[in-house]
Amino acid sequence: MSKINISEKFGLFSEEWTPKIIAQTNGQLVKIAKGSGELVWHQHENEDELFIVFKGHLTLQLRDQIIELSPGEMYIVPKGVEHCPSATPDTHFMMIEPASTKHTGKLESDITVSTEDQEWI
């Protein structure tokens, strides 16, 4: 395996809320995404979801609290916890989650990207 330049990978796409897979390790996918505005409320019944912010500001709305993330900060949304990510314009972040995890859990919406359709870059 070659080293991965995460900054270069962010430069390869412009779509928002469309995770791109950059690596896989021990059944976990390492994904990067860009976001602006709000995604949708959803949950992952059986998987935790880790978020790491590289640029911008990501807000993770939970039903009982709001988590604010700036560059260099991370948070793990525990399995089963409903959440709604929102971001300032051109926020860049990473997610690490099991390969079986669907973009928006069981929720199907016009912005849901199935695991099979998440592109490797």
Check if the beta carbon of residue 90 is closer than 8 Å to that of residue 121.
no
In a domain, 1, yes or no: no
Residue with tokens 């990067």: 32
In a domain, 76, yes or no: yes
Alpha-helical (H) ranges within 13-102 are: none
In a domain, 19, yes or no: yes
In a domain, 119, yes or no: no
What's the DSSP call for residue 74? Answer: E
In a domain, 111, yes or no: no
Q: What CATH number is attached to the domain comprising 32? A: 2.60.120.10
Number of domains in the chain: 1
Q: Is 7 helix (H, G, I), strand (E, B) or coil?
A: helix
Written as tens digits, the pLDDT of the chain (121 aa) is 799 999 999 999 999 999 999 999 999 999 999 999 999 999 988 899 999 999 999 999 999 999 999 999 999 999 999 999 999 999 999 999 888 765 556 555 566 666 677 788 8
